[in-house]
Amino acid sequence: MNNNRTNNSDYNEEDSIDIEVDDTDILPIKSHENSVVGSPGENMPEDQLLNSDHSRILINDELPLSLFVDLINKIINYLKSVKSDLPIGSTSNTSTTTTVQLNSQIKVKNQYVKSTQTFLSELITLYNKINNSSSVVDKNKCKRFRSVSSVLNNTSSIQSTSPKNNNVASDLIQINATKEEIEKRIKSFITMKAFETAESNSIEFRDDSSNSENQSIRTTAIPPMKMKYSVTTNQTGPLLNDNTNNNNSISVFSDRVNLIENHLGIMNNNNNSSVPKDLYQRVKAIEDKILQIEKQNPQFFKDSYNSRNSTPPITKLSNQTITHQK
Amino acid sequence: METEVPAQAQAENDNNNNQPTNQRPEKTNFSLKYTLKGHKESISSVKFSPNGKFLASASADKIIKIWSVGKFQFVTDLFGHTGGISDIDWSPDSKYLCSGSDDNTVKIWDTHTKQVSITLKGHTQPIFCVSYSPQSNLIASGSLDQSVRLWEVKTGKCIKNLPAHTEPVSGVHFNRDGSLLVTGGYDGLIRLWDVNKGECLMTLNVEKAHSPVSFVKFSPNSKFILAGTLDNQIKLWSVNNKKGCQKVYNGHHNEQYCIFSSFLGGNWVVTGSEDHCVYIYDLRDRHIVQKLQSHTDTVLTVACHPSLPIIASGALNKDGTIKIWQDNITPSK
């Protein structure tokens, strides 16, 4: 309301502000609706909207405004006439009056009655007119409520279009669709896929196009299944000793022997010889090396041998070798 | 058929197969009685009406023919489908027929007026199999589009669309009280459905889902399911207890076509075969009781009369005839 007053300088316009406020509340929303439906690019500033609406309201309320002005004038005139008549009324109490005076008094009274009558009739018509115009206002009010409720129903669409409402949220949400819409999309996707598989079935199971005219699906032979089931049960695996793959096991074994040789420092001998040594020769070299180490450091082997009598020391060594290198 | 239910139940419960009871005949002696010619293409399905008065036959030539039981005279044709017909089923009151066709529709026929009463549209691919519910209020249909649809007969509306299988559905059948539905598909699975809720209650054949299921059917007492698979086998599954597969019937040839099987009374299982024969198995002993030879092409469909020892069989288009076999020695029950 305060905003409206600052915008409106004219007094007459402000006179009918109680009616206007309702209307100004209505009409911008109406125009929002229009912009949503018809012209999405239309984003009028609020001031323009208000001004344009004011002009319309003034046209609507011209009649009651002029009537108010008339009413004021008539009241003033009436009061004037009554004032002029008042002394006559006050003198009517006097008993000594002539017939001429009486006649003149009757005349004056008739005039007074006439003027009051006309004034009253005018008041009644004015009252009726105001009532009619107020009914118009009521209609507007009804419209307003209706439009507001419809706006509430369409809040999502208005929010997405109007620049003021929740711009950030609409940017962040990538799929601007209601739950029903998304469910509809999922459903249509499923039906589409079902249709596609059905189509592929018809190609797969009745591609005999030459005879398809006089066939039914039951009388067409089913082609041999393109999808084969094959179950593999592994009796042996890479962790088990597989004697059939001798080459592989030798290569793996020689790798491990290489590591041992490398660690024990027998590597150089191997590299120098052009002909690769036999595995047994290499193992022999390792054994010799171990003996050599044992001679130099007898305590270590003694301790380990005493701690674990059963386990052979070579396997233990090989395990240690691998972990140390890495 | 329901009068024979106790006999069958007793037969199943009796595990001593070595001692045949007095009531149970050891052999059948079916012989060819009639050959019905008229269809111009492969016979896809033959069904006796529940009242035992008519035989309906469907064919890939888009026509359903009705024959009278007795002398097996031609009664009428039912025209209307625009595609070959794969399956038919009688309503329990024997007045209506439903048929599934390659024109993607199921039609309900009034056999008196010979007109289509309702056409059920919804499937997107040819219909493979149809089944009338015992209350005759529902029709189930399985299709190449992998779905099973339940239709309300009164309104013709599809009330449920079950995503039953991941391959074409080759068999549907209601149980005795219409509360359960069994479906079989090329995905090798047999599924039991709650008709009212539309929920899957059980899936059979899970462990060895290798070969496609070509046919499923409840036993007359609905305690067992007879299912054919495209590995030359017919299996009898128990519905209630979890013993799973009870019997396996080997001997016939079935690898390419969805061949019908049927219970004959309480003692025999009848099936068609790709070696042009009709096989009769002993339900309990599983051995071949009789092999009927006369057709000249794959016997796609067999049907047994509800009360008389009569078998009807239909074959593919090189033969294209329906043959009626009658048991001479076995006393009719």
Mean pLDDT, residues A96-124 taken together:
71
Quick one: pLDDT at residue B241? 65
Quick one: pLDDT at residue A304? 75
Q: Is residue B23 part of a domain?
A: no
- Helices A17-37 and A99-153: crossing angle, nearest 10°? 30
Q: Would you call B300 and A198 a contact, using CB atoms and an 8 Å cutoff?
A: no
How far away is chain A from the Cα of B228, in angstroms, using its nearest Cα?
14
Give this prediction's pTM: 0.57
Task: Determine the Cα–Cα distance for residues A40 and A34; give it in Å rounded to an integer.
Answer: 8
> How does DSSP classify residue B321?
-
Q: Identify the domain containing residue B139 by its residue range.
A: 36-327
Burial of B81 (0-12, 13-18, 19+ CB in 10 A): buried
Closest partner CB to A216 (pick from B126, B168, B230): B126
Sequence-distant (6+) residues with CB within 8 A of A260 are: A286, A317, A318, A321
Residue type, A34: N
How does residue A225 score in pLDDT terms, banded at 50, 70 and 90?
Answer: low
Q: Where are the domains of chain A?
A: 180-219, 252-307
Total beta-carbon pairs less than 8 A apart between chain A and chain B: 89
H-state helical runs in chain A:
2-7, 11-15, 17-37, 46-91, 99-153, 155-161, 167-172, 179-205, 246-264, 267-272, 279-296, 298-307, 313-325
Quick one: pLDDT at residue B246? 81
Quick one: pLDDT at residue A18? 39
Q: Would you call A217 and B84 a contact, using CB atoms and an 8 Å cutoff?
A: yes
Closest partner CB to B84 (pick from A202, A215, A221): A215
Q: Would you call A222 and B45 a contact, using CB atoms and an 8 Å cutoff?
A: no
Q: Is residue B254 part of a domain?
A: yes
The three-point CA angle B87-B93-B95 to 5° equals 65
Report the domain count for chain B: 1
Task: Determine the Cα–Cα distance for residues B223 and B240; give it in Å rounded to an integer.
Answer: 7
Q: Does A297 touch chain B (CB under 8 A)?
A: no
Closest partner CB to B102 (pick from A194, A199, A216): A216
Q: Would you call A198 and B41 a contact, using CB atoms and an 8 Å cutoff?
A: no
Q: Is residue B206 part of a domain?
A: yes
Nearest to A220 by CA among B105, B296, B44: B44
Quick one: pLDDT at residue B11? 41
Which residues in A299-325 are b (16+ Cβ under 10 Å) and which e? eebeeeeeeeeeeeeeeebeeebeeee
Could you tell me which chain B residue has the CA closest to the CA of A196? B145
* Residues 222 through 281 of chain A touching chain B, CB cutoff 8 Å: 222, 225, 229
Mean pLDDT of chain B: 87
Q: What are the angstrom distances between the C-alpha of A260 and each of A266, A279, A310, A313, B313? A: 8, 13, 22, 13, 79
Q: Would you call A219 and B41 a contact, using CB atoms and an 8 Å cutoff?
A: yes
Q: Would you call A214 and B60 a contact, using CB atoms and an 8 Å cutoff?
A: yes
Sequence-distant (6+) residues with CB within 8 A of A82 are: A112
Q: Is residue B62 part of a domain?
A: yes
Q: Does A197 touch chain B (CB under 8 A)?
A: yes
More confident residue, B85 or A245: B85
Q: Does A217 touch chain B (CB under 8 A)?
A: yes
Q: Is residue B162 part of a domain?
A: yes
Backbone angles phi, psi at B77, to 5 degrees: -105, 150
Strand, coil or helix: what is B35? Answer: strand
Q: Is residue B179 part of a domain?
A: yes
Quick one: pLDDT at residue B21? 45
pLDDT at B17 over 50: no
How far away is chain A from the Cα of B280, in angstroms, using its nearest Cα?
22
Could you tell me which chain B residue has the CA closest to the CA of A229? B210
User: H or E element: which one contains B304?
Assistant: strand B299-304
pLDDT at A241 over 50: yes
Cβ contacts (< 8 Å) between B126 and chain A: which residues?
202, 206, 216-217
* Residues 220 through 279 of chain B touching chain A, CB cutoff 8 Å: 230, 256-258
Cβ contacts (< 8 Å) between A225 and chain B: which residues?
211-212
Q: How would you classify the pairing of strands B233-238 and B169-174? A: unpaired
Mean pLDDT, residues B174-188 taken together:
92
Quick one: pLDDT at residue A77? 78
Q: Is residue B10 part of a domain?
A: no
Cβ contacts (< 8 Å) between B61 and chain A: which residues?
214
Query: For the segment B128-179, what is each residue's pLDDT rounded down to a tens digit?
Result: 999 999 999 999 999 999 999 999 999 999 999 998 898 899 999 999 999 9
Q: Is residue B11 part of a domain?
A: no
Q: Does A219 touch chain B (CB under 8 A)?
A: yes
